[in-house]
Copies of this chain bind each other. A is one copy, B any other.
Amino acid sequence: MHPLDTATALEPLPDGTFRGHTSPAYANLVGPFGGVTAACLLNAAWLHPARLGEPVALTVNFAAAPADGEFTVSARPARTNRSTQHWLIELRQSGEVMTTASAVFAVRRETWSMPEAGPPEVPAADTLARSSLVRRPPWAHHYDMRFVMGGMPEAFDAQLQPDSVTRVWVRDEPPRPLDFISLSALCDSFFPRVFLRRRKFAPIGTVSLTTYFHADAALLRAQGEQPVLGTARALNFRNGYFDQSAEVWGAGRQLLASSHQVVYYRD
A residues contacting B by CB (< 8 A) are: 56-57, 59, 61, 63-64, 78-79, 81, 84, 86, 88, 90, 96-98, 100, 102, 104, 106, 108-117, 160, 163-164, 193, 197-198, 207-208, 210, 212, 214-216, 233-241, 243, 245, 247, 255, 258, 260, 262, 264-267
Contact = CB atoms under 8 A, between A and B. Distances in A.
Contact of A111 (B235, B258, B267): B267
Nearest to A110: B239
A235 B117 CA distance: 5
29 contacts: A56-B262, A57-B61, A59-B102, A64-B81, A78-B90, A78-B97, A79-B97, A86-B97, A86-B100, A100-B102, A108-B240, A109-B239, A109-B240, A112-B237, A114-B237, A115-B238, A116-B163, A116-B197, A116-B234, A208-B212, A210-B210, A212-B262, A216-B239, A235-B247, A235-B258, A236-B258, A238-B255, A243-B258, A245-B245
| Most chain B beta-carbon contacts within 10 A, residue among A90, A114, A238 | A238
A51 to B, nearest CB: 16
A63 B88 contact: no
Nearest to A58: B208
A88 B111 contact: no
Given A59-B102, A102-B102, A239-B216, A114 B197 contact: yes
A267 B112 CA distance: 6
A262 B100 contact: no
Copies per complex?
A: 2
A114 B124 CA distance: 33
Contacts of A78: 61, 63, 90, 97, 100
A31 to B, nearest CB: 14
Given A207-B56, A210-B210, A243-B212, A236 B255 contact: yes
Nearest to A260: B260
Nearest to A234: B116
A236 B115 contact: yes
